[in-house]
A = this chain, B = another copy of it.
Amino acid sequence: MIDTSSLKFNSDGLIPVIAQDIKTGEVLMLAWMNAEAIKITLETSQVTYWSRSRKSLWRKGETSSHFQMLKEFYVDCDSDTLLLKVEQIGPACHTGAKTCFFTKVL
């Protein structure tokens, strides 16, 4: 478990979270968590974010069944970003793409 009081949340009480596929190494998405989402994610091993648009907890896959199973959990050097290595069930992106980063500019 982690003491969430050691993390640096932004003024909305949120911290950015990078989800990376533990098998392929692909970066799947960036989303946000509050302290409660972190607690639920660690307790259940199913990744739960905070939806900034819906302003509510959002268990990834709750409607799509495209769950993210937590495998590893890292905090960065200045405690203001999380990196989660996950087993992604189905596509990560709401568009049906494997990852949210399918638009290549360069």
Chain A interface residues toward B at CB < 8 A: 1-2, 16, 18, 20, 25-27, 29-30, 42, 70, 72-78, 81, 83, 93-95, 97, 100-106
Count of identical protomers in the assembly: 2
> Are B81 and A100 neighbours in the complex by a CB distance under 8 Å?
yes
Closest 5 CB pairs of A and B: A25-B25, A73-B106, A74-B101, A76-B100, A30-B81
Chain B positions within 8 Å of A26 at CB level: 25
> Are A106 and B42 neighbours in the complex by a CB distance under 8 Å?
yes
Chain B positions within 8 Å of A93 at CB level: 77
> Are B74 and A103 neighbours in the complex by a CB distance under 8 Å?
yes
Least CB distance from A17 to B in Å reads 10
Chain B positions within 8 Å of A27 at CB level: 18, 20, 27, 83
With the chains together, A27 CA to B81 CA distance in Å? 12
With the chains together, A77 CA to B97 CA distance in Å? 9
> Are A77 and B106 neighbours in the complex by a CB distance under 8 Å?
no
Least CB distance from A42 to B in Å reads 7
